[in-house]
Amino acid sequence: MMSSVDSYILNKFLSQGAVISLNENEILIAWGDPLINASHNQSVPVFYLSEFFEEKGKWLQFSEHMVVTKSLFLESLKQVNKRSESIKRIWSEPDKIEFQNYFDRFQQDCALEKLKKVVPVVFAKSEGTFSAKEKLKSLTHLLETSNDLWIYGLWTNQYGFLGATPEILIDRIQNSFKTMALAGTSVKEGPNLLEDQKEKSEHQFVIDDINYKLKGCDLHWSRTEEWKVGNLKHLRTWAKGESEEQLESLISKLHPTSALGLTSGELNFSHLKNYCEASTRKFFGSPFGVKYGCRDLILVALRNIQWFNESSYIGSGCGLVAESELEKEWNELKLKREFTKEFLNL
């Protein structure tokens, strides 16, 4: 583990790089020119990158990397950040009519028994890509405030994303792995989610979906808990299992779980394109992670800012089931975006 992160490394890292939490205390950073579909070497981290609707992702390897404690990394960022001027973005929020159309479409699909659950996504937009100074500011704030979340990000000269997610898709060491069902959202002070039938129903769809997709992995589930993180809370249930499958195969099976996808007896994954602006969705909700040493760690890319084509975006999604109410779901979408802006210090 490295003992310092100097300004030269930080400047290279903020130009082209990647970051991911390894545990509560350590974080992995990488920088330099990215090599696409690099061969796997346990001593060098390779990052898995995939857009949400891509059938197959790619592996990126940066020329340099280090594992550092979060406290040391934070101190290094603060030394540079204190010399940066304040930056404030202007956001265009999503149109409620867009979401109303998604909601009405689901009601029709649900009535025809085509869908039991779906997760529409809407985006706030800001002009301009995310600058190095903005990455520095957001990373500093993430390290100060997001102890319960998994910090992650990757950026090149053309695109990038940075955030802190509550959701793990796969965390595997050798053949033993864990995954989670995460669904149901409310403000931290709101009513108990374990007593809300709509939220429990939505959460159970996710558990059933994972059980079906990983039916050969001998899954063992924990008790469902109401998990408070930041100003929000969720229903969360952990599962442990065993699998010798290739990591790409496990990702393909799990992505997207019904926490982000759909539950249907007849409609496939591509039907989700009717519930978002597909060209803007990009990396939101996609699998992202790292293969390093004997560990495979794949996160679900939520609660992030992403940038491409000279614009930046913050997305939010909500799970629609038969019991869903339009205003409540619309407010949940706004709540998630505001929470994301808050912990990214935007």
181, 205 contact by CB (below 8 A): no
Q: What is the pLDDT of residues 24-65, one digit of tens each?
A: 999 999 999 999 877 777 789 999 999 999 988 999 999 999
Give the pLDDT confidence score for residue 83 in this predicted structure.
Answer: 64
Q: Does 1 map to a domain?
A: no
The answer as to whether 2 is a domain residue is no
Q: Residues 111-139: what's their mean pLDDT? A: 93
Find all residues with CB under 8 Å of 276, minimum gap 6, and list them: 102, 120, 121, 122, 317
Q: Is residue 294 domain-resident?
A: yes
Query: Which region among 86-95, 134-143, 265-274 has the lowest average model confidence (pLDDT)?
Result: 265-274
Question: Would you give the DSSP letter of residue 193?
Answer: G
Residues 311-341 pLDDT 10s: 999 999 998 988 899 999 999 999 999 999 9
The CATH number linked to 243 is 3.60.120.10
Read off the pLDDT band of 3 (50, 70, 90): low
The whole-angstrom separation of Cα 53 and Cα 275 is 13
The pTM score is: 0.94
For residue 159, what are the domain limits?
A: 7-83+90-343
| pLDDT value, residue 336 | 92
Q: Give, in order, the Cα–Cα distances in Å from 33 to each of 7, 29, 30, 67, 213.
A: 18, 13, 10, 18, 36
Residues recorded for the chain: 346
Question: How large is the average pLDDT for residues 292-318?
Answer: 96
**Count of domains in the chain?**
1
Classify burial at 193, counting beta carbons within 10 Å of its beta carbon; exposed 0-12, middle 13-18, buried 19 or more: buried
Q: What stretches of the chain adopt beta strand conformation (E)? A: 17-21, 26-31, 35-36, 46-49, 58-61, 64-69, 117-118, 121-127, 150-155, 159-165, 168-173, 176-187, 220-221, 225-229, 232-242, 262-263, 287-292, 295-300, 304-308, 311-317
Q: What are the respective helix, strand and coil percentages of the chain, to the nearest 5?
A: 30, 35, 35
Closest to 67 measured CA to CA, from 96, 37, 45? 45
Percent of the chain residues past pLDDT 90, beyond the cut = 73
Question: Residue 162 above 80 pLDDT?
Answer: yes
pLDDT reported for residue 341: 94
- pLDDT tens per residue, range 84-119: 666 789 999 999 999 999 999 999 999 888 888 899
* Averaged pLDDT for residues 164-179: 96
Instruction: Determine, yes or no, domain membership for 213.
Output: yes
318 residue type, one letter: C
